[in-house]
Structure 1
């Protein structure tokens, strides 16, 4: 292989195979987490075998990896990942790769097409369009269409105590991926909204976090956004409240930027919601700040 200038990945799945790979002087070792006898998965195999390899060996963790949380945790043991069916099962392969490697991250408060493109190029999956009149980042339908035409993000419309018909109409006209509720919408409102929306449009609910975590017990809510206050404050709440919580359906918001995005990712939330900390002024995103945030997440 080397005479043909080809690389070699030496696969191991147990201690005996690991010792053989070490004896062979393997430079790239793939640790298969799947038991080929019964096809069961044990991610501990990477955790147990990787530390026994030298620092000059590139370690690839193979099989059974299908969430950002797993990638984030196993990245302390592996240099790379071999992911097949977990990605290929998705219609949008690009978004699936971003979700696995960086999380379900959103850049909210988009008002310009160039900012949507910068967010997409940096690695975001979701783009937030705010329809709250009191927000300095508020857009109308025409502005939203201009933003959406610039980049293939999955767009989320942000509303606060809006008339249900208005929310549903904008969701349909703009083909939104989700609507995010930032007001006092109760279960009856959510039930009626669910009936009014196309089936493919998800409903997200933003919850203000104070001294304790709010309950996540609404029906028909696909994701929650934990924020400090009603959003847009640029302030964070006490993230220690998230310790030990199952956060697979939560995006974390509030003052997130390059200086704290790694700490935010370590909370275990499904993704991060960026806004004011990646702006040069309200509603104007800074491409350099966006790039810095996602480069920091990649390095982590």
Structure 2
């Protein structure tokens, strides 16, 4: 590590190399330098092998389909061994990808990626609507069924609203981890119907809470909405009994209101996760 660089700053430099050298320039030898051999990519292209070969397979497939593929990092934050980025993918569909013939379409896709590093090397990757948004613009969608959890099994025709992803990092108050787990169980169980109705009112399409550990416990709060800030304002200001209860419970766990943070705009994307069915997705939210 260069003198004067903290671990988090070095981790951020490593993730920049993923895009600046590997994805954008096609320097595949970088993978052997910055990824662990047993690296786990939770959202590879269908058919990708495990470890480093799978990383190369996925990017090779994307670069074959989009020869001018270029990724811009819009924002980056580091938390212990984790790095979170918001990025924009651009390219032109000039080659075959996943059996689809070239369409000549230019795409622009925004997404969030969460990375975990171990001893300076990339150990895990969670892509949240990154490559899948690109494929969606070609009329394809990932399916998540069968196989190892988090691995994509195939593609299907896509129909549904476009949504903007936002990630915030929430610190769990000391001694509140068990309460966090209880809250996730309540949202996924007895209060699920109220929770779903609340998210629909707010205009949220998907929301997830992932518990991570990196010295201290924290939660990755991921939201997709047509207008995340507007959704955050609706939840922050809502007088509905369920919304008031959930804000109070969140303050108990995090010492903050996650939806007030959302209302302020994009940050720096497991417990309960909820996705609105496509046929029920909100349309024309104000």
Considering the TM-score relative to the shorter chain, is it more than 0.5? no
TM-score normalised to structure 1 length = 0.25
Higher relative contact order (CA 8 A, sep 6+): 2
TM-score for the superposition, normalised by structure 2: 0.26
